[in-house]
């Protein structure tokens, strides 16, 4: 991993389209400003990890539960 030290107001560039600047440092929190192409997906790492975790949970399913859900749907369908 590349490790760089930056002061408040300083930035790093990634390729020629992305610039990440340290806007503020308060205690343990760092505020970053990110300039990147509009259509690039940028998100907090937790969001990515949440989806990963949800995938893991979604992979644990059994047929009985699925059948129950289908049954529930067909019951409502007759209303």
Q: CA–CA distance from 75 to each of 59, 65, 68, 70 (Å)?
A: 26, 15, 11, 9
Burial class for 22, CB neighbours closer than 10 Å (0-12, 13-18, 19+): middle
> Toward other proteins, which CB reaches closer, 5 or 57?
57
**74 near other proteins, judged by CB under 8 A:** yes
Q: How far is the CB of 42 from other proteins (least distance, A)?
A: 8
Q: How far is the CB of 45 from other proteins (least distance, A)?
A: 11
DSSP element (H, E) containing 19 = strand 18-26
Under rule CB under 8 A, which residues in 25-64 are in contact with other proteins? Answer: 39-41, 43, 47-48, 50-59, 61-63
**78 near other proteins, judged by CB under 8 A:** no
> Toward other proteins, which CB reaches closer, 2 or 42?
42
Residue 71 to residue 41: CA distance in whole angstroms: 39
């Amino acid at each position: 991993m590349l490790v760089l030290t930056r002061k408040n107001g300083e930035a790093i560039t990634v390729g020629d389209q992305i610039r990440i600047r340290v806007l503020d440092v308060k205690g343990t929190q760092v505020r970053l400003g990110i300039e990147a192409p509009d259509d690039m997906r940028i998100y907090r790492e937790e969001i990515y990890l949440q989806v990963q975790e949800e995938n893991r949970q979604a992979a644990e399913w059994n047929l009985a539960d699925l059948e129950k859900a289908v049954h529930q749907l067909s019951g409502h369908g007759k209303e």
